Chain A
Amino acid sequence: MRWFLRAWLLVLLAGLAGLGWVLFGQPGQRAEVVLTGPVDAAMLADPERIANGAYLARVGDCATCHTARGGAPYAGGRSIVTPFGSVPAPNLTPDRETGLGLWTFADFWRAMHLGQGRHGKWLYPAFPYTSYTHVTRDDTLAIFAYLRSLPAVRQVPEPLGLDYPYRLRSTLAAWRALYFGQGVFQPDGAQSAQWNRGAYLVQGLGHCNECHAERGALGGIAKNARLTGGQIPVQNWYAPDLSTQQNGGLAGWSEQDIVDLLQTGQSAKGAAFGPMADVVAQSTQHMTDADLHAIAVYLASLPPRAPKPAPHSAFNVARIASAGEKIYLERCADCHGRDGNGVAGVYPPLNGNSAMSEPTGINATRMVLLGGFPPATAGNPRPYSMPPFAQQLNDSDVALVVSYIRQAWSNKASIVRPEQVSTYRHTPID
């Protein structure tokens, strides 16, 4: 079955590669880049531009992928693991041999805006140029100036670990035809400047959609899927819907709640955990109040989609919920409250928390198993933590208590089965 699927994918990819070739020209040709005005050394050395670039690189969270654990910032040395194999994140410091030392701004713009490497080859979309294409030329130039200002670190990238046929760059022409739309963000004249700033940050450097939308069999996100929520491949956490959707979206979140979560890692509606804890720790906590409010205004304007029908279950939901409630009262209620409303500023609410009622149940399951700290931030430097229950509760107990939480109070999500708990028992690190 697996080989059949692979063979089928291969045929599909070959067909699409051919189509891509015909439609979009031979991959490997350097795309035409229109640069408005030349870039000279003085522009790259401008301290104000460099400082702005440092901020924008934070917003883009570049360091998280382009830094090895315990390694020099932006010097690469780490690989991004995908369902198709691993892709090394290159060294972005100005080392001439192993970094961006020989790159011109035109090369860098081509990478960010078109997903094309220095020698014209298409870049693997583990690099989220699908989002970065929306970034303006000025901002891209500032980031380039900042990267040029870093101390050069010699670090040879890890080898490419992509499986066949995905490592064939020719297949990327087809992938791009399906999933990549090139173009700098265009402001919506009907919206405020603040809304447009938020939309620009979310869609561009913030690259929120790369996690918060479902990826298909070829690892791409449908062009019309915008922040609809999705399971993050390999890491297997669920990045929730960021529209104002009920039960799993941002319904009920105030602008301040969104700002709080991004700035401090916790809010009156829930805390950051899993991959979002990384994002808060490395990126959003460093953003200005004005930018965070802009993001909040934009997200709070995203309309909910048509509600999905309530999940059906062949199991005795009432019995499961009552057995789960017993465990909840013993293990969880001391901190999260019988009413699931948590303790303001200390323990997050579970009632109405999108992490509890997202479609898969992965997040709640993992939280119960792993516990842990929300990210320590300037706004919450000594966070309260949650005990891990992996050693204390078996798969069935975890399934019961998670099912209860997902159906208690205002939550209306499907139950979780013990087999699902067993799937997510391991601890994800990267």
Chain B
Amino acid sequence: MNDFTISLRGLLRQVAGWMAVAMAGFCATVQAADSPNVPDTLQQRIAACTTCHGVHGEGTPGSKFFPRLAGKPAAYLLRQMQDFQDGLRNYAPMEYTVRHLRPDYMREIAEYFSAQQVAYVRSPAPVVSDAVLQRGAQLVNKGDPLLKVPACASCHGTELTGVEPSTPGLVGLPYDYISSQLGSWRTHTRATVKPDCMAVVARRLREADITAVAAWLASRTMPAHTRAQPAGSVEPPLPCGVLGATGEGA
């Protein structure tokens, strides 16, 4: 009986010893998890951006909305953040997110996304009739002289991959994003430095044209090269404030 008691004590002591070792190990693990290791990188700092726009600015095709930022001209991206700050471009989550960023930081963020080279992932495009797609192709590549709408390609580049320094590419954008932007220019919830040439173009379109342009752009095959064209390689048909034009516009 006495032996049993002693051996039980010994056993308890042993168990307690092992438990102490185990606890020490457990605490060390918990300690490690308790103090997260945070890399000092821009990518880590801008988690608020990458949740929707992707870690490399690839967009989130599953959302069918959030636009790709990768490879867009840096001056364009910076301009958009400033327009959200100034209330020219209205989208509450973006206005809230960039509200208190300073110009240097916004430029750094713009340059980060502009420099990213990452494969395009397509968003699903809506099914529309061939006639609608043809109308879209006509507007994008040739424009409509009757409506005084220039071809998209006349500013956004022959392959629609954008033009340095301030004209964004139109390839690989979700249908919902393109159509909502064209709608926003018409309803005065997207604007930029005057003269705002895109507002002029968007207001000249017929309502059905928005679907046609957005559907054609969203379903188009990717060009082989997706980099923006060099500065000065296009002659814009309308005066654009973002491209340095002054005055009240067309």
Nearest-CB distance from A372 to chain B (Å)? 5
Is B36 touching A426 in the complex (CB atoms < 8 A)? no
Interface residue? A388 (CB, 8 A)? yes
Is B35 touching A337 in the complex (CB atoms < 8 A)? yes
Nearest-CB distance from B102 to chain A (Å)? 5
Is B35 touching A343 in the complex (CB atoms < 8 A)? yes
Interface residue? A347 (CB, 8 A)? yes
A336 to B38, CA, bound (A): 11
Is B46 touching A385 in the complex (CB atoms < 8 A)? yes
Chain B neighbourhood of A346, CB < 8 A: 38
Chain A neighbourhood of B45, CB < 8 A: 382-385
What 1/0 mask marks residues of chain B from 17 to 48 whose CB sits below 8 Å from any chain A CB? 00000000000001001111010001011111
Interface residue? A373 (CB, 8 A)? yes
Question: Would you list which residues of chain A between 389 and 430 have a CB under 8 Å from chain B?
Answer: 390-392, 426-429
Interface residue? B130 (CB, 8 A)? no
Chain A neighbourhood of B100, CB < 8 A: 265, 277-278, 281, 373-376
Residue of A nearest to B86 (CB): A70
Nearest-CB distance from A219 to chain B (Å)? 25
Interface residue? B248 (CB, 8 A)? no
Question: Would you list which residues of chain B between 102 and 135 have a CB under 8 Å from chain A?
Answer: 102, 104-105, 108
What 1/0 mask marks residues of chain A from 376 to 387 whose CB sits below 8 Å from any chain B CB? 100001111111
Is B108 touching A371 in the complex (CB atoms < 8 A)? no
Interface residue? B238 (CB, 8 A)? no
Interface residue? A96 (CB, 8 A)? no
Is A429 touching B96 in the complex (CB atoms < 8 A)? yes
Nearest-CB distance from B79 to chain A (Å)? 13
Size class of the contact patch on chain B: 20 to 34
Interface residue? A6 (CB, 8 A)? no
- Chief secondary structure at chain A's binding surface: loop
A428 to B87, CA, bound (A): 13
A285 to B105, CA, bound (A): 17
Chain A neighbourhood of B35, CB < 8 A: 337, 343
Interface residue? A334 (CB, 8 A)? yes
| CB-contact partner of A376 in B47, B49, B105, under 8 A | B105
Chain A neighbourhood of B36, CB < 8 A: 333-337, 343, 347
Is B105 touching A333 in the complex (CB atoms < 8 A)? no
Residue of B nearest to A382 (CB): B105
| CB-contact partner of A428 in B33, B46, B96, under 8 A | B96
Nearest-CB distance from B105 to chain A (Å)? 5
A335 to B47, CA, bound (A): 11
Knowing A337-B34, A337-B36, say if A69 contacts B51 (CB, 8 Å).
Answer: no
Interface residue? B88 (CB, 8 A)? yes
Interface on B for A, CB 8 Å cutoff?
Answer: 30, 33-36, 38, 42, 44-52, 63, 85-88, 92-93, 95-102, 104-105, 108
Interface on A for B, CB 8 Å cutoff?
Answer: 68-70, 265, 277-278, 281, 333-339, 341, 343, 346-347, 370-376, 381-388, 390-392, 426-429
